[in-house]
Amino acid sequence: MGRLIFLGAPGAGKGTQAKTISDCFNIPHISTGDMLRFSVAQQTPLGVKAKAYMDKGELVPDALVIDLIRERLGHPDAQSGWILDGFPRTVVQAQFLDDLLLEISQVYDLAINFDVPDDVLVERLLGRGRNDDTEDVIRRRLEVYHEQTSPLIDFYRARQKLVNVDGNVSMEEVSIELKQVIKKG
Ligand code: AMP
């Protein structure tokens, strides 16, 4: 069970859990958010373009993240497994991923949706204090999630790949449930 898509709103705990699972199952944690923040810090052409969207809580255009993922999934360390955290985030990206995996003869095992109520997400994000986490930006990121990303729950349900995990319990409890879900496949 080595190819996993983590779905969920910002603040749902995807990144934290992805780190644990990545260590536990020895598969790379691929976070488009981390890759974009790195590009912003390096002031690469991609970073300069992406920053304007990220600062407002908007999604970066599909074409930019699609290129990142195509490149990353081609690396040797991603050939026998991966966790995608924060990608796909739109139906266009999810369709691209299906096409790319077909092209490189891979399949995902599960799309795991971390379920957390909005009010809890806002609390968590305000507490986290990352510099893209001001209250207005947080609210916009949640709106964007509901408009553009939450349709992916149905997308993966229709492909019979969706599993829901209750993300509104302690980090340790989420980890335990997650490991069971992944082992069961
Ligand atoms: P994250 O750390 O996953 O919350 O991502 C931080 C920000 O990076 C998001 O608010 C978006 O602006 C951008 N981003 C990350 N992943 C994607 C993606 N798959 N598609 C578009 N924008 C993304």
pLDDT digits (tens, 9 = 90+) for 2-59: 999 999 999 999 999 999 999 999 999 999 999 999 999 999 999 999 999 999 999 9
Identify the residues whose C-beta falls under 6 Å from ligand 1: 10, 32-33, 36, 53-54, 57-60, 65, 86-87, 89, 93, 141
The pLDDT of residue 12 is: 97
Looking at the predicted structure, is the pLDDT value of residue 1 above 60? no
The pLDDT of residue 128 is: 78
pTM above 0.85, yes or no: yes
Among the atoms of ligand 1, which is closest to the Cα of residue 93? 19
Ligand 1 centroid – CA 85 distance (Å): 10
Token look-up 């490991």 returns: 179
Looking at the predicted structure, is the pLDDT value of residue 145 above 60? yes
The pLDDT of residue 15 is: 96
Average pLDDT, the chain: 95
Query: Best mutation site among 7, 36, 66, 72 for ligand 1, i.e. most ligand atoms within 8 A of its Cβ?
Result: 36
Q: In what order do the strands lie in the sheet with 29-31?
A: 29-31, 82-85, 3-8, 110-115, 162-166
Asked whether 131 and 40 are in contact (CB, 8 A), the reply is: no
Nearest protein Cα to ligand 1, atom 19: 87
* Residue type, position 118, single letter: D
Among the atoms of ligand 1, which is closest to the Cα of residue 34? 2
pLDDT level of residue 132 (50, 70, 90 thresholds): low
Instruction: Please give the helix or strand (H or E) that residue 29 lies within, else none.
Output: strand 29-31
pLDDT level of residue 105 (50, 70, 90 thresholds): very high
CA 86 to chain centroid: 2
The pLDDT of residue 134 is: 85
